[in-house]
Amino acid sequence: MPWQPKAVSLNDEASLLYVESATFKLGDGKARMMEDQKWPLACHEFGHAAIEWHFRDSLEDEGVVVDVATGKGQFCVRTFYTAELIEETLRKTTDEQTRAIHIRAVERIIIRLLGGPVAEYIARGWEPKRAIRFSSEYRFPDSDSSRIREFLRGLTGKDDKQYQLRLQNECKAILTEERTWRAVEHLAKMVLEHGQVLGPEIEAVY
C-alpha cells in the first residue's frame, strides 16, 4: 500500500496540510509525465525534505511519492500560520527578542516551501535571478507560491519579493552544500526507481 500523508485537523490557527501535486500534459491532452520532467520533480520533493532535515525536523512520519505515470509528486509541508495570524502576533509582541523569534519561525517555513522550487531550479541547471513563483499555482491556496506570498504579506505587509530573494538565497546555500545535494540526488534516484521513499529511509541517507 503506498504511503499516504498523515491527516491533521484544522484548528483556529488554520493548520494546513499541503500535498503537492504537479501534472505535466502532452499534446494529446493525456496526463502523463514527460521524460525530462521526472528528475526535476523528484528533486523538487526532496528539496522540501532536505530543508526539513536541515532544521532538524523529524521525517519519521513523512515520505515522498512520485508517480512517473501521471507526473504527480507528494511531500507534506505542514504550516500552522495564516497571514492574519502572523500580523496579529507581531502586532501584539512588544518584546524585541520574542518578536525576532516569531519572525525567524515564519522565515523557516518560507524556506521549507522554497526548498522544492529551488531544488527544481538546481536540478535543471538554472540560476534564479529573481524570486521564484509559478503563477499557475495562485489558483490553489495551499500551493508553494500561494503560501509563500501569504506569509510574506503577514511578515512585511506586502508581497515582498526582495525579502523572498534573501530567504531563497539562504535556501540555495543549504541545498547546494555538497553532502546535502548528494543526498537529494540519491533519494531522487530511489523514488524514481521505487515510486516512494519513506521517512526513515530519508533520514538514513542524511
pLDDT at 144: 86
Alpha helices in the chain (DSSP H): 35-54, 83-92, 96-124, 144-156, 161-175, 178-194, 199-205
Q: Residue 19: how many CB atoms within 10 A of its CB?
A: 14
- What pTM did the predictor assign? 0.75
30-65 pLDDT tens trace: 344 455 678 888 898 889 888 888 887 655 545 455
Nearest in space to 77 (alpha carbons), one of 104, 38, 117, 24: 117
Do 64 and 197 meet the contact criterion of CB atoms below 8 Å apart? yes
What are the tens digits of pLDDT across the range 69-94?
A: 544 555 555 555 677 888 888 888 99
